[in-house]
Copies of this chain bind each other. A is one copy, B any other.
Amino acid sequence: MEKYWFTYEDIHSTIRDLAERIRQSGYDADAIVAIGSGGFIPARILRTYIKKPIFAVGIAYYDDENKPTDTPHKVQWVDEVERKLTGKRILLVDEVDDSRTTLEYCIRELLTHKPASVAVAVLHNKDKEKRGVIPPEVKLYLAGRELEDRWICYPWDALDIEEQNRQAHAAR
Which chain A residues have a beta carbon within 8 Å of chain B's beta carbons?
A: 7-9, 12-13, 16, 34, 36-37, 40-41, 43-45, 47-49, 53-56, 58, 60, 74-79, 84, 155-159, 161-162, 165
Which chain B residue lies CB-closest to A60? Answer: B53
Cα A161 to Cα B49 with chains together (Å): 12
Q: Is the CB of B8 within 8 A of A9?
A: yes
Q: Is the CB of B47 within 8 A of A37?
A: yes
Min CB distance, A14 to chain B, in Å? Answer: 11
Contacts A12-B155, A41-B40, A161-B13 given; does A76 touch B56 at CB 8 Å: yes
* B contact residues around A44 at 8 Å (CB): 37, 40-41, 156
Which chain B residue lies CB-closest to A62? Answer: B53
Which chain B residue lies CB-closest to A95? Answer: B44
Cα A165 to Cα B45 with chains together (Å): 15
Q: Is the CB of A58 within 8 A of B48?
A: no
Besides A40-B43, A53-B58, 5 new A-B residue pairs in contact (Cβ under 8 A), listed by A number? A8-B12, A16-B161, A41-B156, A45-B156, A76-B79
> Which single member of B9, B54, B156 contacts A36 (CB below 8 Å)?
B54
Min CB distance, A83 to chain B, in Å? Answer: 10
Min CB distance, A155 to chain B, in Å? Answer: 7
A9, A49, A77 interface centre (most CB from chain B within 10 Å): A9
Q: Is the CB of B40 within 8 A of A9?
A: no
